[in-house]
Amino acid sequence: MFELFYHPIYTYGIDKNSTFPRDRYKMIKNYLDEQKIIINFQKPNLAKFEDIILGHQEKYVTSFIHGLLTEKEKRRIGLQPWNEHIVNRTRYILGGSIGAMKSAIERNNIAGNMAGGTHHAHFSYGSGYCIFNDLAICAFKSIKDYKNINKVLIIDLDVHQGDGTASILKNHRNIFTFSMHCENNFPLKKMKSDLDVPLTKGMKDNQYLDILQKNIKTLKKPKFDLVLFQAGVDILNKDSLGYLEISREGIKNRNEIVLEFARERDLPLVVFMGGGYSKPIQHSVDAFVDLFIQCSNYANIIN
């Protein structure tokens, strides 16, 4: 069964006056419950300090946890105004990602976090709604804790480049970073992933899916042991922060390509939510619901 980590703090940990579409988490959860989608929901644990510093500078982690970041550092992250839950929200989201990583490896199946994919968080600072980089931390922790995990592949298909992930992991040859994103978009300064595929503004389904297929086929070597999938839906034509023109159906096809990649190789797969900022937010919610239904079906097939 598909194990999906979720905590109500994903929503209430963001202030109601923030412009960030915080309701998306609870809307997705409600819909999946109403439709009785077969999902084993799991409550995350708070991420431990020792795990957070696998991917970050201790000084930055301590400053954030103790509320000592400067206004400038907070502005770079966004999500303002911050309420009293922001620290626990951040630690629960990372805990959800770590929980999903463990679940996927130990059951050799698919698991996910209904948040996370915080790929703009760098070693010593946060940025673009991202505070701790769960992709990098999960990659490090999986190799550290599991003897059978030696090579990790990160597939980042959010519309924005996974700059934080690329910079944290740049000297780690056992973790391969693949980012396919819109070239004219945040972050202004791109970092170097192992494989970057920048796309032109306005790209539509057919071309997008062709390029993805071609590039994913090149990921044959080395032989990977784990896939981390940042499944941002801000490539959607209705997104307010993306500049691609991918349809809801196109995103489902994209997801299928990644699921198929893991299925063919019998690899554990962890799904992270990533961005989705349509106005109204319902379009992003629909695309995320599609994703989690696909994950649920996938888990049932390979069981």
- Applying CB under 5 A, among 156, 196, 234, 286 the residue interacting with Zn ion is 234
Q: Hey, what long-range contacts does 168-173 have (CB within 8 A, 24 or more apart)?
A: 168/55, 168/122, 168/123, 168/133, 168/136, 169/136, 169/139, 172/139, 172/140
Helix then strand then coil, % of the chain, to nearest 5: 40, 15, 45
Shortest CB 278 distance to Zn ion, Å: 12
Given the complex with Zn ion, which of 153 and 231 has the nearer CB atom? 231
Category of 129 on φ-ψ map: left (φ > 0), alpha (ψ -120 to 50) or beta: left
Say whether residue 51 binds Zn ion (CB under 5 A): no
Q: Residue 47 and residue 90: Cα distance in Å, rounded?
A: 9
Say whether residue 158 binds Zn ion (CB under 5 A): yes
Omega of the bond leading into 198 within 30 degrees of 0 (cis): no
Q: How big is the site for Zn ion, counted in residues (CB under 5 A)?
A: 5
Say whether residue 160 binds Zn ion (CB under 5 A): yes
Given the complex with Zn ion, which of 140 and 243 has the nearer CB atom? 243
Given the complex with Zn ion, which of 1 and 241 has the nearer CB atom? 241
Say whether residue 275 binds Zn ion (CB under 5 A): yes
Q: Which two tokens stand for residue 188?
A: 């202004």
- Selection from 176, 107, 136 nearest residue 272 by Cα: 136
Q: Residue 61 and residue 43: Cα distance in Å, rounded?
A: 23
Q: What are phi and psi of 136, to 5 degrees?
A: -65, -45
Contact flags string 84-103 toward Zn ion, x per CB under 5 A: --------------------
Shortest CB 168 distance to Zn ion, Å: 17
Q: Judged by CB under 5 A, which stretch of 42-50, 166-174, 207-215, 269-277 contacts Zn ion?
A: 269-277
Say whether residue 239 binds Zn ion (CB under 5 A): no
Q: Judged by CB under 5 A, which stretch of 10-18, 94-102, 191-199, 275-283 contacts Zn ion?
A: 275-283
Q: Which two tokens stand for residue 24?
A: 């998306």
Residue 11, exposed/middle/buried by CB under 10 A (0-12, 13-18, 19+)? buried
Contact flags string 100-139 toward Zn ion, x per CB under 5 A: ----------------------------------------
Given the complex with Zn ion, which of 7 and 160 has the nearer CB atom? 160
Given the complex with Zn ion, which of 104 and 159 has the nearer CB atom? 159
Shortest CB 51 distance to Zn ion, Å: 24
Given the complex with Zn ion, which of 56 and 160 has the nearer CB atom? 160
- The residues binding Zn ion (CB under 5 A) are 158, 160, 232, 234, 275
